Amino acid sequence: MDIPTQLQNVTRNFSSWKKNVLGRLEDNLKEVKRKFDRLELADSNGSISEAEIVELGILYKRHSALLRQICTNQVLIKID
């Protein structure tokens, strides 16, 4: 395989990875933020349940994990 074809393949694979992996992480992060907003609104109104408080704690942990994964992937992109 010649070098231009190899470069095209690498570029295509990288674009696909970026869309499928990084895009999925960013979509998950948006979903977590939507849930945050809903629960934090309930908390500010004083109408948050015990189960929702537990869910909020889980969301904070998931949010942190997603941010770490996104940052790690962005570093990998810059290294490549």
Please state the domain extents for the chain: 3-79
| pLDDT tens per residue across span 19-73 | 888 888 889 999 999 999 999 899 899 999 999 999 999 999 999 999 998 888 7
- Whether the predicted model's global pTM rises above the 0.75 cut: no
pLDDT band at 79 (very low <50, low <70, confident <90, very high): low
How high is the pLDDT of residue 29? 93
In this structure, what is the dihedral angle of CA atoms 45, 48, 54, 58, given to the nearest 10 degrees?
-40
